[in-house]
Structure 1
């Protein structure tokens, strides 16, 4: 080996030499790099590539999702309809029967009078006193009706009819649907009447019946001017 002379320039002066790592450390670094690359490759191979998924499978998944949403919507709508139906049943009003007048004198009951059948009851009240429907129904007659004078006939859902006679005027028209308590006319003495009063008749299957027991069965005592059913409904 030739010895460097002191007069020769030092080629390495001003440079920093990076020390070579020990063989054991170099081996560890290389090994770690390979292992890490293997893990990444393994993980990538475990994940499915979207473009490798069959289009039919994607369509089936989409259809299953839509079907599930439709079923949930139908179930919700059915449940809502059931709740609405329950509320409708709970809110349905019971049948209401009322007195046709307030503050009258009960006169001339149903029965024989002067050798003839008096087919209703007379409720004496002042001229022009409003009277109302005793029950829901359809107005089948509103106007002049022979000996009844100005009259209103209302047919109820159960087939019975109520005739209100001797009115000074009527407030409804034929074909009109009315509710219990709706005004039908004013008390008068038209037709074959003696004094101002409301003549009330009830017909069942086309035949007159005594209004007193008929209305009592429905919670109305026309003789005592009591509306039991109406009072219960109003208090509830």
Structure 2
């Protein structure tokens, strides 16, 4: 056992000496302490003293906040009213105005008869069964060239489109457009019925391309409308318009 040196302090008797931390760690600890104290001091200086705020200033702030909330509420009400004026189909109406958009002629129907030979003669269109009085609309923008009685078609509407293609809507119970009228895709033309040579309440739809009857199913499908699946794509052709 070595003798205690006279230079060793008495306070180390019977105790384990805690090693002094490395200089780098010591510096880091001290620096962190100073930085933290500085942040606290700055934060305390930045906070306003509630006692020093004028009551009139607080009242002005509350009034300004209430005014801002009122203006926001009025703006929200105006936007809702604008949407209601446009209707839930505001986007559909906007897109329908584009010249390349094609739409389904009506909703909630049963596809009953395709294009092709029927009873030894050409059935030049397709039949879509729906309750009498169901509204139907234009599949594409154009000009109404016929709106009235048309033989076996019964009350009929014919719309001529910009490229010369014609869409024919037969067996109507009522027509709500007139000849010479401009219509957009989705605009109502009439009501489903069973006038003319119809076997039940239905809409008879024909498409004539270059003056000749054309199967509406593939023609419309190429333009984003699937008659059989009752699906139309409002965006079809919009990018090119």
> Normalised by the size of structure 2, how large is the TM-score?
0.57
Determine if contact 2:99/2:141 at 8 Å carries over to the other structure: no
Deviation readout 1:109-156 (Å, 9 max, x if unpaired):
000011111000000000000000000000000000000000000000
Query: Which shows bigger deviation, 175-184 or 220-229?
Result: 220-229
Aligned mates of 2:234, 2:181 — CA distance in 1: 25
Distance change (3 Å), C-alpha of 1:161 and 1:94: closer
1:106 aligns with 2:111: yes
Aligned mates of 1:152, 1:102 — CA distance in 2: 18
Q: Name 1:171's counterpart in structure 2.
A: 176
CA RMSD of aligned residues (A): 1.6
1:195 aligns with 2:212: no
Shift of 1:158: 1.1
Deviation readout 1:25-78 (Å, 9 max, x if unpaired):
xxxxxxxxxxxxxxxxxxxxxxxxxxxxxxxxxxxxxxxxxxxxxxxxxxxxxx
Shift of 1:230: 4.3
Q: Name 1:43's counterpart in structure 2.
A: none
Distance change (3 Å), C-alpha of 1:94 and 1:111: same
Residues 12-161 of structure 1 mapped to structure 2, 5 A cutoff = 93=98, 95-161=100-166
Which protein is bigger by CA-based radius of gyration? 1
Query: Which shows bigger deviation, 163-172 or 93-102?
Result: 93-102
Q: 1:185 aligns with which of 169, 190, 197?
A: 190
Determine if contact 1:97/1:220 at 8 Å carries over to the other structure: yes
5+ long unaligned stretches in structure 2: 1-96
Q: Name 1:18's counterpart in structure 2.
A: none
Aligned mates of 1:160, 1:231 — CA distance in 2: 18
Determine if contact 1:97/1:230 at 8 Å carries over to the other structure: no
Deviation readout 1:82-124 (Å, 9 max, x if unpaired):
xxxxxxxxxx946210000111000110000111110000000
Aligned mates of 1:106, 1:95 — CA distance in 2: 25
Determine if contact 1:98/1:230 at 8 Å carries over to the other structure: no
Q: Which runs of 4+ in 1 moved over 2 A?
A: 228-233
Determine if contact 1:218/1:229 at 8 Å carries over to the other structure: no
Shift of 1:165: 0.1
Aligned mates of 1:142, 1:162 — CA distance in 2: 12
Greater relative contact order (CA < 8 Å, ≥ 6 in sequence): 2
> Normalised by the size of structure 1, how large is the TM-score?
0.58
